[in-house]
Amino acid sequence: MKKIALAVVILITAFLASCTTKFTTTTTVSRTTTTTTLNLSRIHSEVYARIYEELYAEIRAEVLQNLSEERFDQIYQQVVADLLERVEQGEMEVTALSLIELIYGVAAKEADAAIGVTIYDATGAVMATGSGVIFHKVGNKYYVITNQHVVDGGTTFEIEFEDGSSVEAILRGVDKLVDIAVLYFTSDETFAVATFADSDAVTKGTLALAVGNPSGYRYYGSMTLGIVSGVKRYFDIDGDNIKDLFVPYIQHDAAINAGNSGGPLFNLEGKIIGINVIKISSVEIEGMGFAIPGNLAYDVAMDIIEYGVSKQKPVLGIQFIDIALNYAYFAANGIALPEGVDKGFYIIQVYPNLSLSSYVQPGDILIQIGEIEIQSSVQFVTAFSSRYRVGDIVSITILRGGQPLTIDNIELKARLN
């Protein structure tokens, strides 16, 4: 019961930003400390719903080992009702302290796993500095995840620590498609090792802490706070005016700058939800940073550790136009689509030695891969990424000259690094 009650109190505090709240704050300015006491006056009904959704799911499985489901429901409902009644009657004060302590906790512990990465060229000159995070340890070998573009072109590498010490690192491998690199170093010293959260559970509004080295080591280990502004954002990385569907980026507004690339994005539990990689910099735009989702980054990185390359995301090997999103493009360019066709991928280029290289050609319309009927690129990528891996055997259905054609026994292949 105490565990349930404590979890409810913590969760209520975490929701303060989304409801009408009053809490105690203390401000110090020029040795003068002023305290403003604000008691919680109201908690919206939507907060009750979120408490139920998030807390119930989190603790239900554990306590059901000792309680019947019916009894658990009774206890849960009573605890929530009693706590919220006490809060609203002023018998219990909710402050921002719990939230602040969570942030301090990450800063004091998990953030230590964020490190610096220095890249040297063949002459021994420094090419660049960036960020990374220690995420895996085997014996006295520590593995660091960062971005591929951080280490690109480098000959030798060093891991830099906050006290100014450093250790030589070896590049284990990279994945250019997802922009992930893995370095490792050996040491008998003990270093913090961060863990990953389930990034599929990250939603808009999740509080996030970015840690990294903006503008080099002068600002080593800088931490910034923000919220997740959106999920599953896609970009035209290669500048061909077609969104690349390699990575469903997490958008957030925790400040990141040059040098933050490869650094971790933590949740308030101190677990990695993403690896920072991109920001949109413009006079008209502010607070738009993007991170590779933690689940994808971790899977790719673990593959690199084991195989030297990633085997997670198959590459079809085609450049295409999503008909559903670009229907007007075809009329504007004099391309006649088969009658009644308003969805699928219109193939404009086929790359060699990849999954579909020997099976499709420009002008084909891809309408199904495996069990996935293509409705749109976003729908397809979500379904394909969660279902298929390198080495899987699938069939495809295309329209060629307006006629359907099914091709079986196609092996999905990895990107050529």
Please give the structure tokens belonging to residue 376: 């749109």
Sign of the Cα torsion 223, 224, 225, 226 reads negative
Q: Please state, in angstroms and rounded to a whole number, the distance separating the CA atoms of residues 347 and 341.
A: 14
- Per DSSP, the residues of 317-361 read -EEEEETTT-HHHHHHTT--PPTT--SSEEEEEE-TTSTTTTT--
Phi, psi of 68, deg, nearest 5: -70, 155
As annotated, the active-site residues are 149, 179, 261
Q: Which residues pair with 11 in a beta bridge?
A: none
Please give the structure tokens belonging to residue 255: 């400040």
Burial 175-185 (b: 16+ CB within 10 A, else e): bebbbbbbbbb
Burial 10-38 (b: 16+ CB within 10 A, else e): bbbbbbbeeeebbbeeeeeeeeeeeeeee
CA angle (124 as vertex; 121, 128 as ends), nearest 5: 50
CA angle (251 as vertex; 247, 257 as ends), nearest 5: 100
Q: Please state, in angstroms and rounded to a whole number, the distance separating the CA atoms of residues 187 and 166.
A: 11
